[in-house]
Amino acid sequence: MKKTGIITCIECPRGCRVTVEQDGDSIKVLGNRCSKGEEYAIRETRCPMRTLTTTVRTTFPGMKRLPVRTSTEIPLKDIFFFMEQINRYTLKERLPHGAEISCGLPGDVRLIVTGDPRPEAGDPAHWEGSAGVILQGGRTA
């Protein structure tokens, strides 16, 4: 049975609207302006992959959860399974931004710390916003 769909390619800044026609194992891609678009559309059709961004529970005072992401892309169909595993994990030591956490995820997938676990990171006086650094009292510098 032939299926047709349209996706937006994210492999380069062009953002081509790509038409994908699938008939069994055969996949035809139309509308891509480069070879990356064809490869992306085929991957998205056969096995879509995503980087999972989420948070993990911590034991840190003032920071109940810490932002993390997966070290590699995982199959989209497995996102909820990975979330179940991550939700069972509690981080007990402060790790620097960019550190890898091995928490028993399948396929040697690790979590990468994307937040700042330092105690002062939860203090709004240390947050950076689009208008600059937010000072105590809500003023920006």
18 CB-contact burial (10 Å; exposed 0-12 / middle 13-18 / buried 19+): buried
| Domains of the chain with CATH codes | 2-46 (no CATH), 53-133 (3.10.530.10)
Q: What is the pLDDT of residue 115?
A: 84
Convert 108-134 to b/e letters by CB count within 10 Å (16 or more is b). ebbbbbebbbeeeebeeeeeeeeeeeb
Contact assessment for residue 9 and residue 20, using Cβ atoms and an 8 Å cutoff: no
Both tokens of residue 78?
């497995």
Q: What is the pLDDT of residue 120?
A: 59
| Amino acid in the structure at residue 120 | E
Q: What angle do CA 53, 63, 52 make, to 5 degrees?
A: 5
Both tokens of residue 42?
């085929």
Q: What is the pLDDT of residue 119?
A: 60
Q: What is the pLDDT of residue 44?
A: 93
Q: What angle do CA 92, 97, 101 make, to 5 degrees?
A: 45
Task: Give 5's Cβ-side CA count (13 Å radius).
Answer: 12
Contact assessment for residue 47 and residue 75, using Cβ atoms and an 8 Å cutoff: yes
Q: What is the pLDDT of residue 26?
A: 93
Q: Would you write out the chain's pLDDT as a tens digit for each of its 141 residues?
A: 889 999 999 999 999 999 999 999 899 999 999 999 999 999 999 999 999 999 999 998 878 899 999 999 999 999 999 999 999 999 999 888 999 999 999 999 999 999 877 665 555 544 444 344 444 454 444
**Cα 81 to Cα 107: distance, rounded to the nearest angstrom:** 13
